[in-house]
Chain A
Amino acid sequence: MSFKIVVLAKQVPDTRNVGKDAMKADGTVNRGALPAIFNPEDLHALEQALRVKDRIDGAEIIILTMGPPRAAEIIREAMYRGADTGYLITDRKFAGSDTLATSYAISLAVKKLQPHLVIAGRQAIDGDTAQVGPQVAEKLNIPQVTYCEEVLEINEDELIIKRRLERGVEVVKCKTPLLITVHSSAPTCRPRHAKLLMKFKHARTVSELVEETKDYTEMMTNKPYLRVEEWSVVDLDANVEFLGLSGSPTKVKKIENVVLARKDSVHLTPDDKDMDYLMKELIDSHVIG
């Protein structure tokens, strides 16, 4: 069996450039006002997977995401960069899932796929919880290595991984199967490849095919690699109680707008004394050093 890697990815609203319409009156994210993008750290995760594939002949990368039908966009995006195939977990019954319910659904899907290695971004820029990766590992009962910066060595049953921690790096060895989450200090993802883009741009999920005005029947028959599988609650054999709102213990109690006000200001002149003062301030407040 070839070495199988599942990359967990999420389509997120681009919270890096928020305008005034970014939040709704009730304090939730206004997804319509923000462009939907590939979660940045998940791209770092994909790059790590691609580097593993570069080193292991015949390794296969499967991109797995959960979300509304349009999340298929990031599956294509991953294919343009070198992922071999993708699965989209989508079902109305998943709506409102918190990290616990999400990781339950994802762990069921990963179990079906039986990979040697699961790679996820550390956290998503919408929720910033960093919980889904570790929770999936726990549910699958496999080891997890978080904050990965680089896979140093790899063979089919063991990986040596460099972790980026707050005050340094740590090198660990771990047996497969395992799950790793990738830190933003890891290398950015390689660009989309022109040939892969042209090859996979017609990749579609069943729900997308229903919406298409053009007839895709022939293309889908001749090119089976263009089919992106969709998994529903039934496909995953999931217990609906553990999904959606009922499966999500996290409840938003209150949301507050925080306005950061300047408390006091200091005027500095560009001389040795004031620079000395500034450096001490910056070191004390851990901005530098």
Chain B
Amino acid sequence: MENFYKDNPSLKFHLKHPLMEKIIRLKENDFAEKDKYDYAFQDFEDALDSYDKVLEIVGEICGETIAPNAESVDHEGPQLINNEVIYARGTQENHDTLTKAGLIGMSLPREYGGLNFAMVPYVMAAELVSRADAGFANIWGLQDCAETLHEFASDEIKKEFLPRFNNGATAAMDLTEPDAGSDLQAVQLKATYDEQKQQWFLNGVKRFITNGDADISLVLARTEPGTTDGRGLSLFVYDRKDKALTVRRIENKLGIKGSPTCELVFKDAPAKLVGERRMGLIKYVMSLMNSARLGVGAQSVGIAEAAYREALKYAYEREQFGKPIINYPAVYEMLSVMRAKIDASRSLLYETARYVDIYKSYSFIQEERKLEPEERNDAKHHTRVADALTPLLKLFASEYCNEIASEALQVHGGTGYMKDFPVERLFRDARITNIYEGTSQLQVVAAIRAVGNGAYLKLIREYQEHHVKPEFEYLRNTLIDLTDDFEKLSKSVLEAKNNELLDFHARRLVEMAGYIIMGYLLLQDTHRDVEYRKSAEIFIRKAKTECASRAEFIRSFEEKNLGTYKITWE
């Protein structure tokens, strides 16, 4: 029996993080529901044990059903028949199995049929599903939409839509349009209110919509005629039962072929307003995007894990010049660096999830009672750090995912280029992770703010204070040196007061912060479990050289050099 949770002790390691007690207590609101639902947790140990056991179910379904289906799903893909998206056979089986196991709507409250799981175990499930089939992970992961409805929709909408998730309803978030990709402020799909029918109607086109023919769709639309920016946009929920949507086509993609990417035409489609008018983009979609970015972080780590395992197995089995290729320095270095990058991005993934967990729980508690001043500060702190870590995670995890998938293919040599091994699929699937839900370039735009306002530096200095065993002190010393350098350089770039220069160096600065942060996280992991020592050493050594090259570039660069890089097209 393949079990993707049991065969990967890293997940349990992160599940047992010391902060979990606080996270669970907040999420369970001091176990207020313990006598209300027969499956509610009694206390912290009970909750952690349930997380662990439910993740075992996820791991088993991933190993026994989803992963074995991945190849046929990749070949078959979804089809468009009579204006209906028909999933590949394996996709449907995956979805049905997860529904039967009660694994849709994992983070929703029990009152709506959910499991009320914290983000950490939910993100772990997302990592597992992604390792099994990254394309399918999108369909499963769109249960995030339930979370958005739960956070912002009226009670009436919540009662109508949320209980459907645990029974297997699928979801989509319809944001992108032909002329509104990265720039969602340009969305044009029109929403008009019919006074007579007391109903909103949607008209227009959406493009590149994952799982576009879903049961429940969140649609971003313009409610304020004459406006041209984000403040004229509102969020709607559309029910597939109304049959007012045409799927014009399913895109033919490089990877994640099991996930149907649709072009949609809304024609007088009835829909319900979610929350308040004009808050669609600036509040609700921003929140949805943040959880989607966490989701892509999980997906990236999942694909990377799958690719690494394929490469490791192949390197061990493949013999050349009389011995397995894993014995050659050129190959084992590739593998151990892959391992270190996975450990680093996974640590960043769960660190981010922990911060998100805490601030989200506070925001729900706030609906019931006033927070104590102490709690308010704690909530604010966790929101700020979560906002800073989310784009950093998305950036690093997705870039590493691409590097690792590429290296894994390289380990296979010519064989890896053939369709005979799963690594070519992983390589194709990886490629989307640093594009969708905001490209890497856009993650940098979000992350550079945390360089500017000192959020990264503050967090790093906090990490610096964590206790480490004396034998790992040398690793911390390296990180302190890197931090000093990062502080100096970011200050010099910021003080130049030249926005173009800041944008130009933004990625370099953000990446320096990322290396230091992940270095500290691995150091903390090593402190808890010496198994991580190798990865910490390899990663911090890498951090040192990577930071040095970026520092050297910034130091030797002057504002006037910008011109050299500017390019035009005649």
Is B57 within 8 A of A191, CB to CB? Answer: yes
Is B54 within 8 A of A191, CB to CB? Answer: no
The residue of chain B having its C-beta at the shortest distance from the C-beta of A225 within the complex is: B38
- State whether the Cβ of B193 lies closer than 8 Å to any Cβ in chain A: no
- State whether the Cβ of A267 lies closer than 8 Å to any Cβ in chain B: no
- State whether the Cβ of A92 lies closer than 8 Å to any Cβ in chain B: no
Contact of B100 among A191, A219, A225 (CB under 8 A): A191
Q: Once the chains are docked, how many angstroms separate the CA of A283 from the CA of B103?
A: 46
21 pairs of residues in contact across A and B, judged by CB atoms under 8 Å: A190-B101, A191-B57, A191-B97, A192-B57, A193-B100, A193-B101, A194-B39, A194-B54, A194-B57, A194-B101, A194-B103, A194-B106, A195-B39, A195-B115, A197-B53, A197-B54, A197-B57, A198-B39, A199-B38, A201-B49, A219-B42
CB neighbors of A among B1-43 (8 A)? 35, 38-42
Is A198 within 8 A of B54, CB to CB? Answer: yes
Q: Beta-carbon contacts of A192-225 to B below 8 Å, as 1s and 0s?
A: 1111111101000000000000000001001101
Q: Which residues of A contact B61 (CB under 8 A)?
A: 191
- Distance in angstroms from B535 CB to nearest chain A CB is 31
Instruction: Count contacts on B: residues with CB < 8 A to the other chain.
Output: 20
Q: Which residues of B contact A197 (CB under 8 A)?
A: 50, 53-54, 57
- Distance in angstroms from B371 CB to nearest chain A CB is 29
Q: Beta-carbon contacts of A140-179 to B below 8 Å, as 1s and 0s?
A: 0000000000000000000000000000000000000000
- State whether the Cβ of B230 lies closer than 8 Å to any Cβ in chain A: no
Spell out A's residues near B (CB within 8 Å). 190-199, 201, 219, 222-223, 225
Q: Once the chains are docked, how many angstroms separate the CA of A190 from the CA of B49?
A: 22
Assess A193 versus B53: contact at CB under 8 Å? Given A198-B39, A199-B39, A223-B38: no
Q: Once the chains are docked, how many angstroms separate the CA of A105 from the CA of B54?
A: 35
Contact of A198 among B35, B50, B97, B103 (CB under 8 A): B50
Q: Once the chains are docked, how many angstroms separate the CA of A222 from the CA of B34?
A: 12
Q: Once the chains are docked, how many angstroms separate the CA of A239 from the CA of B42?
A: 44
Q: Once the chains are docked, how many angstroms separate the CA of A194 from the CA of B57?
A: 8
Is B102 within 8 A of A194, CB to CB? Answer: yes
- State whether the Cβ of B537 lies closer than 8 Å to any Cβ in chain A: no
Q: Which residues of A contact B40 (CB under 8 A)?
A: 198
What are the 4 closest A-B residue pairs judged by CB atoms, nearest first? Answer: A198-B39, A194-B102, A191-B101, A199-B39
Contact of B60 among A190, A191, A201, A225 (CB under 8 A): A191
The residue of chain A having its C-beta at the shortest distance from the C-beta of B41 within the complex is: A198
Assess A201 versus B50: contact at CB under 8 Å? Given A194-B57, A223-B38: yes
Q: Which residues of A contact B53 (CB under 8 A)?
A: 197-198, 201
Q: Beta-carbon contacts of B90-122 to A below 8 Å, as 1s and 0s?
A: 000000010011110010000000010000000
Which interface residue of B40, B57, B60, B103 has the most chain A CB atoms within 10 A? B57
Q: Once the chains are docked, how many angstroms separate the CA of A194 from the CA of B40?
A: 11
Q: Which residues of B contact A199 (CB under 8 A)?
A: 38-39
Q: Once the chains are docked, how many angstroms separate the CA of A219 from the CA of B41?
A: 12
Q: Which residues of A contact B106 (CB under 8 A)?
A: 194
Q: Once the chains are docked, how many angstroms separate the CA of A123 from the CA of B539?
A: 53
Q: Once the chains are docked, how many angstroms separate the CA of A223 from the CA of B37?
A: 11
- Distance in angstroms from A17 CB to nearest chain B CB is 9
Q: Once the chains are docked, how many angstroms separate the CA of A219 from the CA of B49?
A: 17
Q: Once the chains are docked, how many angstroms separate the CA of A195 from the CA of B102?
A: 7
The residue of chain A having its C-beta at the shortest distance from the C-beta of B65 within the complex is: A191
Q: Once the chains are docked, how many angstroms separate the CA of A192 from the CA of B41?
A: 18
The residue of chain B having its C-beta at the shortest distance from the C-beta of A222 within the complex is: B35
Q: Once the chains are docked, how many angstroms separate the CA of A204 from the CA of B61?
A: 26
Q: Which residues of B contact A194 (CB under 8 A)?
A: 39, 54, 57, 101-103, 106, 115
The residue of chain B having its C-beta at the shortest distance from the C-beta of A197 within the complex is: B53
Q: Which residues of B contact A191 (CB under 8 A)?
A: 57, 60-61, 97, 100-101
Q: Once the chains are docked, how many angstroms separate the CA of A196 from the CA of B50?
A: 11
The residue of chain A having its C-beta at the shortest distance from the C-beta of B53 within the complex is: A197
- Distance in angstroms from A264 CB to nearest chain B CB is 30
Q: Once the chains are docked, how many angstroms separate the CA of A190 from the CA of B98?
A: 10
Q: Which residues of B contact A198 (CB under 8 A)?
A: 39-41, 50, 53-54, 115
Q: Once the chains are docked, how many angstroms separate the CA of A191 from the CA of B54?
A: 11
The residue of chain B having its C-beta at the shortest distance from the C-beta of A193 within the complex is: B102
Q: Which residues of A contact B49 (CB under 8 A)?
A: 201
- Distance in angstroms from B94 CB to nearest chain A CB is 11
CB neighbors of A among B43-98 (8 A)? 49-50, 53-54, 57, 60-61, 97
Q: Which residues of B contact A201 (CB under 8 A)?
A: 49-50, 53
Which interface residue of A192, A196, A201, A219 has the most chain B CB atoms within 10 A? A192
Q: Once the chains are docked, how many angstroms separate the CA of A190 from the CA of B61?
A: 10
Q: Which residues of A contact B50 (CB under 8 A)?
A: 197-198, 201
Q: Once the chains are docked, how many angstroms separate the CA of A199 from the CA of B103?
A: 15
Q: Once the chains are docked, how many angstroms separate the CA of A209 from the CA of B60?
A: 29
Given contact pairs A198-B115, A199-B38, A219-B42, a sample of 9 additional A-B residue pairs in the complex whose CB atoms are under 8 Å apart: A190-B97, A191-B57, A191-B100, A193-B100, A197-B57, A198-B39, A198-B40, A198-B54, A199-B39
The residue of chain B having its C-beta at the shortest distance from the C-beta of A218 within the complex is: B42
Q: Which residues of B contact A223 (CB under 8 A)?
A: 38
Q: Which residues of B contact A192 (CB under 8 A)?
A: 57, 101
Q: Which residues of A contact B103 (CB under 8 A)?
A: 194
Q: Which residues of A contact B42 (CB under 8 A)?
A: 219
The residue of chain B having its C-beta at the shortest distance from the C-beta of A50 within the complex is: B100
Is B102 within 8 A of A190, CB to CB? Answer: no
Is A190 within 8 A of B39, CB to CB? Answer: no
- Distance in angstroms from B27 CB to nearest chain A CB is 15
Is A190 within 8 A of B100, CB to CB? Answer: yes
The residue of chain A having its C-beta at the shortest distance from the C-beta of B117 within the complex is: A194
The residue of chain A having its C-beta at the shortest distance from the C-beta of B125 within the complex is: A194
The residue of chain A having its C-beta at the shortest distance from the C-beta of B55 within the complex is: A194
Q: Which residues of B contact A196 (CB under 8 A)?
A: 39, 102
Q: Beta-carbon contacts of B263-287 to A below 8 Å, as 1s and 0s?
A: 0000000000000000000000000
